Structure 1
Amino acid sequence: MTRNRIESESRKRVPTKPIPARGVGIGSFGRFAARRPFALAYAGSLLVVALVSGVISGPSRDIRLLFGTGYESVIELGHWWSPLTSTFFVDNGAELVLALAGAVILLGFAERLMGTRRTVIAFLATAILGATIGLGAQYLGVAGGEMWSRGVSELWAIDPFTPIFGSAMAASYFVGPLWRRRIRVLGLSTVLVLVLYSGQPSDLYRMLAVAVGLGVGWLFRPTLRVTSWRRSSDHETRTLLAAIVGMVAVGPVITIFSGARFGLLAPLGLLFSQDVPTAGEVVDRCLLGDVTRQCVQELSLERIGGAGPVLVSLLPLLTLVVAAVGLARGRRFAAWLAITINTGLALLAAWYYGLLPLSGQAYVWQWQSGRYWEVTLILVVSVLIPLAVALVILGNLRRFPVYSRAGQRRRFLLVTLGSFAALVPFYVGVGWLLRDHFRPAVSLLDLLADVPERFIPVGFLRLERVSFLPTDPLATALYDGVGAVFWIVVFVGAIVCLQSAAVGPTADSPARLRTLLSAHGGGSLGFMTTWTGNSLWFTASGRTAIAYRVVNSIAITTSEPVGPSSEASDAVASFARMCDDRGWVPVFYSLHESWHPVFDAMGWHTMQVGEETLLRPSSWSTTGKKWQDIRTSINRADRAGVRAIWTSYRALSLAATTQIAEISEQWVQEKELPELGFTLGGLDELRDPAVRLMLAVDSADRVHAVTSWLPTYREGVIVGWTLDFMRRRPDSINGVMEFLIAQTAERMQETAQIQFLSLSVAPLAQSSGPRQGGVADRLLDYLGRTLEPVYGFRSLLLFKRKFQPEFAPVFMAFPDPVELPEIGLALAKAYLPSLSMRDVVTLMRGRGQ
């Protein structure tokens, strides 16, 4: 007993500062180099070769011919060594900087994970096989007369990124699910964008090297690693979708600035470019359906370049980048913005490459000609890729719960449509006044017919003959400026709308809610009302707030009303009237016993939906036989050198936050169903500065487990903490969660004002015997039993019993039992908003086993 108390006191004195980052000095660099000798040697060889062959302009033509690889080099000249030697040269100084960074970071990352021997094998295999397989495909393509293979047969490739990317892919088998997924999705997205938009031989070799790297990694994979890819958390899915949308936005820019445009999506990129050939040169060349690669790549508009056309071409892509940023932050507006832009790109590409030539234009594509099947494929892919991105985002729309304020969304639509409606008559009216400033002189009908072309990126109009052109600066400013002004409005409006993420009726609703929480608490679960996805309603006095979510016309409150007890009855009645006015069924969820009188007086029905487990720090003790498991867990952590750290997310180092994300992703991947939401927080909720974390960290700063604690206030003072996020590494020490909870309770003993620790509510689980047997009880009991094999609510409740807690039932209140089937379905969707039909089948299959 005395020994345990001394150990407890010594643990209390452990500093709770953030996990320190490792020092960067001579010793640290030595350790860094010792674990990455091959990567650093390769980086050094790249630097030396670049200095010898020319850093600024790159290798001479003779060096490229001798050491560069490609169809002509290997197939025709027999330079069999070139697939490997080509990886030691760079084109210019900028590429050298990127290559050195890639060698040190990516190749070094692979070497640290796989070891030097495996990294060398992966490097050689991906460099040689990636180029060899690509050359074999080119050989078959040239022999068969395939357009791309013939078009690039004379190009010579030097590219150090082929083995770097391939080795990184091989190393993805040696990391956890979070980084494995990120490496593969981002890596594959990068090489695919380069192949689709640039399409040079080196891009193909790099993509094939990535595929070879995955194969090499599979052969080397650790036997204890879980290699399945079941699902991502909502947070991770948003991050990956944002990365993909960002790639799609960058792709056309690659085509615009690339000297060689051979990719399948090069036509889509060319639709944004500003190529200006000699008047009539290309149009005449492509008459009578004589479609060649040169037509597909170079068919351009006889229009004058300038700032206006550049803005009209690039601002849609920049708006797509803004949408990608919003997607990463869970913004629903960003999702719709990305869907709209990508769908627009697909429709414009379809119109330009398919519908326009078939609608009476002078240029008719010979689709029936087998000679040009590659052209057909290229143009179809140009339409399908942005459409597929839009459909994927649409299918994941529920993963973006953060709404911009309704007023801000309406303002964006009104300003966008209003600016278009104003610019159209302005262009036609002023153009009519300046009709003699165009060549030839224009009529009112000419200006009206030309209106759509002012707002579409110039490249989409390449097949459109020029009806007239401006002849002086004033007419040019009008001709080029109206479209640029419109897209500037859209771009700026999208940024402003994405910055307004308040869910309540006004921008200050979240701040008002936190003020009420600080004053009145809102119960042990009250802080959950601040979470993303909740809508906020306030009484007329502004002294009471209710957070809720509407699912299938069922308005489910997140917790109890937040406000003074004197206003409780009126607040509940007013909220119910508001719901009735909107055709919603109000359901008050996660209420404590003190609220029973309010709903009994209203004649509402109530039923228990779970039990909250409470600890009292003032009487906390681990003595006695019942606490043996807890004492064992504490002692085991001490022997393993694991300490508890009380901190916040913002105070953590980057290494620690990355580890927490990886632990969470591993937990999500192990589940057969999606990540739960509603009253169960995830990674996004950890970032709130008011939330505290208790981490289990060993002497090597490795995070073994994490718990998060939500504050409960009373008159501005924290009086309790509620457990929310609770996840551990699969290979962490046994009892690490018991250790963290016990350490939190001991820490709270030091603060007199802390009245309780809540281990939260296990949804759809209770310990006080069988339910009463009503329809609603049977429905929730069935739902709890069905979810138990996957999420273990009842097992979680048994785990919490180890701490000898007090049990406090929580219930829900509803006006009419007839609505119970709909309420049950709404609760299921609230907890599982991204549930698919496939998940339902998985759920029912697990239920039947």
Structure 2
Amino acid sequence: MTSTTIEPTPEATPKVADRLRGVRAAITAVPFTIALWLVVFVIGLSTGSFWRHTSHLSWYHDVAFGLPALEEGKWWTIVTSTVFEPSPGKYLIALLLIAVGIGWAEWRLGTARVVVVAFGGKIIAELLSVLLVWFFSRDFTSWEWADHLARTRGAGTITMVVAAVAVASATLRSPWRLRVRVFLGAVVAITFLFEGTFGTLQYVLATIIMLPIGERWFSTREHGYLPRTRREVRMLGCAGVLIIAGANLLVFFFPGSGPLGPTDGNDESVYTMLIVLVINLLIADQLRRGRRWAWWVAVVLGLLNVVVTVLVVILVAFTDFDSEGGVTVGTTLLWVVVLAILIPGRFAFATPWRIKRSGDDGGDPVAQVKDLLHTHGGGTMSWMITWPGNEYLFAENGSGAVAYQRHMGTLLALADPVCASEDLRGTVRNFVDFAERSGKTPCWFSVGEATARIADDLGWRSVQIAEDTIVDLPELAFKGKPWQGVRSALNKAKKENITFRLVALADEPFSIKSQVRAISEEWVGDKGLPEMGFTLGSVDEALDPEVRVALALDESGSVHGVLSWLPVYAPADGSGTPVVRGWTLDVMRRRSDGFGPVIEYLIGSSALAFKDEGAQFLSLSGAPLARSDDAAEAERMDRVLDSLGAAMEPFYGFRSLHAFKKKFNPRYEPVFLSFRDESDLPRIGLAISRAYLPDATPGQLVRLAASTRSE
């Protein structure tokens, strides 16, 4: 009989070693999580709590915490209650949550801080719970639920998990910091809705207390509770209403008893339940679409629910009022979470039933504007007038259009009119007459020389506010010292196996679109101000089928950077086929930990691709509120606009971006603001700030103003 020794392959040994190192690193990173998990597991196993209810055993009262324990002098139960669970099911849930929740929090916060946060949050929530139960169970109240809790004791580790996750959420970046917080609030509220126990009361209090503590002392690069983008507000608002609808459905089929009594409200009508469910689903869908009416309905319903619940709590606690559960504290907590998103995020719900238009009836105005662009062509900023937020003034015969926005009593006409060249003067005059009749302050923002000249002929004034950076493509070749940076980026990308794709983002798979959104929302979250609008698009605008998107991907399919290019159409050539003569850069995002010169690589690769397609130029777009020669124009421009540009620079880097584009050796075309006279400029400056920051809260605008004063 022979024996054979199998030698490990050279490839296998390093893999095993790498795995062992990975396990060792994981153990080193979360020692508190592992220790806590083992303690809870060993106690559950040794006491037999995995197969029987600990709360039924005689010694449970010596380790569980509550008002009776303090009255008996068992102060140690504040600590011992942490590692015991009342039932086998709770033990399994606790072990899972320790591994996931405490482990994640320890990874984000570090071992020392997670120990302080978890135990500190648990103790604070326990003591405050006892205080509230003691207060509402006194002789001057008659709240049966509080009386019941005053006689009970509780134990469990989950409060520690809630406290740790609440604090660790402050270390995340947008959009995940708010998503985690909303998810935590929803889970805690639903748990309280269906259980209403002493333990679930601690979950609620731990969430309320530890979220501000985390925000105040543990936030890193980003601060605040508000979502940064319109899409995020709409998505979370929609999800919140859907969760409320689902909770109401579960309560109908599985009624229980909560702090205010039975949760079914003696409502046996399936039809009523279905009607309410359909209404909630309709509201949720319209919130997702950003409808203004849906926001009003949701806010009114939520406020009514909160007010009624507060009144019922007062009546139940201090009178003999018998609540039948028509409202519940749990669903009210859910409404509080939703209202905390909707009320500060009201800016995201400005979509009316239909886009306002003047001078034409019927049809889709945005589709009509696109048809006009296909027919008459446009400038480098013309495609921006197809974005949400614009209203339209059409010529009587529908042959031309002006896009404008209303802010601060001002009509801001955006970009040049879309019309035939021979109709330009008449279209400009038509808008001026329309604005004068409306009693608003009119101006033209980001127009070319032709429109500015016509405005000057009408007695207006025009000043340069930006420069459009144009890269001509027919003779483009990345040769010579001026193009060294772009060549280096292209060569480095080739060495690191970074590939370029030029796509229609709407046709890409979910994995690509989700990565693009994540990169964009992380970028917005870093700025401290919400997503900008007006002449700055977002991922939503990049999903337009006529917009091209440049992607930089590595071998694993991870997106490292993204650009979006808006079409610039030439006047129709008679064939009926729209002709693209150039492309304008809009969205420009890079992954924070990705390929370094990804933007240079994407712009250079895009230029070569568009050149091969026959395009004449690229516009790297004019940096808003930035000029190459500030001194020459500052004497003619009101201080408001210069101050606004200076104030936004730390947040969005407009002027540094303008300098970055110089490495592509562009030529410059002036971009103008046209206005009636200098007395209009203060109002126009405020209107432009609101147009660029339609989503900013008053507090954020105060910060912007403060940064302006510090310049």
Measured against the shorter chain, the TM-score band is 0.7 to 0.9
Number of equivalent positions: 652
Cα distance 1:719–1:534, how it changes in 2: closer, same or farther (>3 A)? same
2:348 paired residue among 399, 402, 405? 399
2:582 paired residue among 710, 720, 738? 720
1:429-578 equivalent positions in 2, closer than 5 A: 506-578=362-434
Structure ranking higher in helix proportion: 1
2:683 paired residue among 808, 822, 835? 822
Report sequence identity in percent: 29
The aligned counterpart of 1:632 is 488
Cα distance 1:761–1:515, how it changes in 2: closer, same or farther (>3 A)? same
1:610 matches 2:605:
no
TM-superposed deviation, 1:117: 14
In 2, the alpha carbon distance for the partners of 1:583 and 1:718 equals 38
In 2, the alpha carbon distance for the partners of 1:62 and 1:87 equals 6
Cα distance 1:720–1:555, how it changes in 2: closer, same or farther (>3 A)? same
1:240 matches 2:236:
yes
CA contact (8 A) 2:190 2:330 kept: no
In 1, the alpha carbon distance for the partners of 2:457 and 2:283 equals 49
In 2, the alpha carbon distance for the partners of 1:504 and 1:168 equals 55
In 2, the alpha carbon distance for the partners of 1:405 and 1:806 equals 40
The aligned counterpart of 1:711 is 567
Secondary structure at the residue paired with 1:786? helix
In 2, the alpha carbon distance for the partners of 1:216 and 1:570 equals 60
In 1, the alpha carbon distance for the partners of 2:642 and 2:211 equals 45
The aligned counterpart of 1:749 is 611
TM-superposed deviation, 1:165: 6.4
TM-superposed deviation, 1:724: 0.6
Instruction: Answer with 391-400 or 805-814: which moved more.
Output: 391-400
C-alpha deviations, 1:635-655, integer Å up to 9, x for none?
A: 333344333232232344434
The aligned counterpart of 1:657 is 513
CA contact (8 A) 1:88 1:160 kept: no
C-alpha deviations, 1:70-129, integer Å up to 9, x for none?
A: 9997779999998657498449xxx99xx79x969x96698689779999x989997x99
Cα distance 1:114–1:709, how it changes in 2: closer, same or farther (>3 A)? farther
CA contact (8 A) 1:522 1:712 kept: yes
Partner AA of 2:285 in structure 1? V
In 2, the alpha carbon distance for the partners of 1:725 and 1:704 equals 14
CA contact (8 A) 2:505 2:545 kept: yes
TM-superposed deviation, 1:802: 0.8
Secondary structure at the residue paired with 2:175? helix
In 2, the alpha carbon distance for the partners of 1:157 and 1:84 equals 11
In 1, the alpha carbon distance for the partners of 2:440 and 2:539 equals 31
Secondary structure at the residue paired with 2:533? coil
Cα distance 1:568–1:380, how it changes in 2: closer, same or farther (>3 A)? same
Cα distance 1:669–1:767, how it changes in 2: closer, same or farther (>3 A)? same
1:784 matches 2:645:
yes
Cα distance 1:406–1:243, how it changes in 2: closer, same or farther (>3 A)? same
In 2, the alpha carbon distance for the partners of 1:403 and 1:393 equals 17
Partner AA of 1:341 in structure 2? L
| Structure 2 length-normalised TM | 0.75
1:843 matches 2:704:
yes
In 2, the alpha carbon distance for the partners of 1:260 and 1:242 equals 26
In 2, the alpha carbon distance for the partners of 1:399 and 1:185 equals 18
Cα RMSD (Å): 5.2
1:200 paired residue among 197, 200, 209? 197
Cα distance 1:125–1:843, how it changes in 2: closer, same or farther (>3 A)? closer
The aligned counterpart of 2:257 is 261
Secondary structure at the residue paired with 1:688? coil
CA contact (8 A) 1:503 1:535 kept: no
Cα distance 1:846–1:650, how it changes in 2: closer, same or farther (>3 A)? same
CA contact (8 A) 1:611 1:810 kept: yes
Structure 1: gaps of 5 or more residues = 1-29, 44-58, 277-304, 355-364, 408-500
In 2, the alpha carbon distance for the partners of 1:241 and 1:548 equals 29
In 2, the alpha carbon distance for the partners of 1:509 and 1:383 equals 41
Secondary structure at the residue paired with 1:762? coil
1:259-338 equivalent positions in 2, closer than 5 A: 259-263=255-259, 266=260, 273-275=264-266, 305-307=268-270, 310-311=272-273, 315-316=275-276, 318-338=278-298
In 2, the alpha carbon distance for the partners of 1:380 and 1:192 equals 8
CA contact (8 A) 1:721 1:757 kept: yes
In 2, the alpha carbon distance for the partners of 1:808 and 1:166 equals 56
Cα distance 1:510–1:203, how it changes in 2: closer, same or farther (>3 A)? same
TM-superposed deviation, 1:529: 1.1
Secondary structure at the residue paired with 1:709? strand
1:729 matches 2:622:
no
The aligned counterpart of 1:339 is 299
In 2, the alpha carbon distance for the partners of 1:745 and 1:62 equals 70
Partner AA of 2:186 in structure 1? S
In 1, the alpha carbon distance for the partners of 2:670 and 2:435 equals 26
In 2, the alpha carbon distance for the partners of 1:554 and 1:820 equals 10
2:181 paired residue among 176, 180, 184? 184
In 1, the alpha carbon distance for the partners of 2:676 and 2:506 equals 43
CA contact (8 A) 2:84 2:157 kept: no
In 2, the alpha carbon distance for the partners of 1:237 and 1:807 equals 38
Partner AA of 2:301 in structure 1? I
Cα distance 1:640–1:210, how it changes in 2: closer, same or farther (>3 A)? farther
CA contact (8 A) 2:344 2:697 kept: no
The aligned counterpart of 2:600 is 738
Cα distance 1:589–1:129, how it changes in 2: closer, same or farther (>3 A)? closer
1:95-114 equivalent positions in 2, closer than 5 A: none
In 1, the alpha carbon distance for the partners of 2:383 and 2:132 equals 63
TM-superposed deviation, 1:779: 3.8
| Structure 1 length-normalised TM | 0.64
CA contact (8 A) 2:295 2:342 kept: yes
